[in-house]
Chains A and B, each alone.
Chain A
Amino acid sequence: MDYPELIRDYLDDAGGHLDMLDASLLSLERSGYNADIIRNMLGSLHTLKGNSGMMGFESLQRYVHTVEESLKEALDKGTASDDLIDRLFGAVNVTRKALQEIEKNPTAPPDLTGKGSAAGGLAPDGQSGQGRQENELSWRLRGKTETIKVDFTRLDDLLNLAGELVILRTRLNRIGERTRAEIATKSLRNEFKESLELMGKTIAGLQEGIMRVRMLPEGHVFRKFPRMARDLSKALRKEVRLVCEGEETEVDKTVIDAL
């Protein structure tokens, strides 16, 4: 693998492209053929292909190339059949799985040979059609959220330190109460009290600020649901209408990842 230091960036970027492809496929399925959507998808696939190749993941690069070719064909013909959309959804799943394997062990990327469109299908062997969908729902839900571009452990460390400061503040307040009675000068007593209060507010602000940095909109979780609802609808042959509200509500990244 070339550029091992960029593996995290590669995986995040690739995940973003797959999310975009999922959303575009849902849109194609709902509203029918749209050349602009397909061109945008081709742009994402081209970047994903190029990045995979540059990282040294040649098998994935070739696989994405076959997906790209299938989509180019749809653009040339001016139509996107339900069968093609279904196979492209499958291809997004195959690629996500490949990325998960790469994440586990970047030095042993999966071999996707024979899983391209040569045999007319983009899904992995033995997993074409709706039968594959149930298995794939579980791992889709484990997807990570968008990265905060700071090492998360550093934010964790800062939050721990802020927590220590809060404990220290409580201790100082208690000591302050006892000490104030022993300070003879009234103005000095007041100044001491005000300083303690100000420090308390500053520490609370610091703690809240760090916690806010770790927050992400809940929409990150909801983004996975339209694709899942679509797959379930197909698998169970039932109409599903999904309505998400409150996507802008912010929660801690650790909570989002757990969801």
Chain B
Amino acid sequence: MPALGKVLIVDDSKLIHQMYRLVLMRFGGCRIVDAMNGLEALEILAREKDFDLILLDINMPIMNGIQFMEKMRENGMRSHAPIIVISTEGGEEDTVRAMRLGARGYIVKPFKSESLYDLIEKVVGGKSPAAAPEEMHNIS
């Protein structure tokens, strides 16, 4: 089980934050920082650098997950923390964009807590990140 020191959760649902916390608790006592949208996440990352993982929702108000990743690139902000994007059914195009912008894995809502746990383990443990579905490779 890989060690997780500090995790940034970016999602506009407080309930989802609680769910991820329950999953992350299984990795031991990591510190969790909450952001309710991409803008808040950018502000946090400007102050704090030492995250081990970012769980990023795509569909959020104010600044969504894709805009967040684009802003990071524009501003030359390099986070060493791998990003796992949380997508929804029908959001394949956005998922592909996120993967191209550097996300290391993705998972589609709704998912079981076990699936998220396994994905975090793979991504943080340095194993092969989840590949985008076949049909996504053709979207430019």
Q: Which A residues have a C-beta under 8 Å from some C-beta of B?
A: 2-3, 5-6, 9-10, 13, 43, 46-47, 50-51, 53-54, 56, 58, 61
Contacts and interface: CB of A to CB of B under 8 A. Distances in A.
Contacts of A3: 18-19, 22, 113
A5 B21 CA distance: 12
A47 B19 CA distance: 14
A6 B13 CA distance: 13
Given A3-B113, A9-B15, A43-B12, 9 more contacts: A2-B19, A2-B113, A3-B22, A6-B15, A13-B13, A54-B15, A54-B16, A54-B19, A61-B110
B15 A58 contact: no
A53 B19 contact: no
A53 B61 contact: no
A178 to B, nearest CB: 56
Interface residues of B, number: 16
Contacts of B137: none
Interface of B: 12-16, 18-19, 22, 59, 61, 88, 109-113
Contacts of B110: 50, 53-54, 56, 58, 61
Contacts of A61: 110
Contacts of B59: 46
Contacts of B112: 2
A222 to B, nearest CB: 25
A12 to B, nearest CB: 9
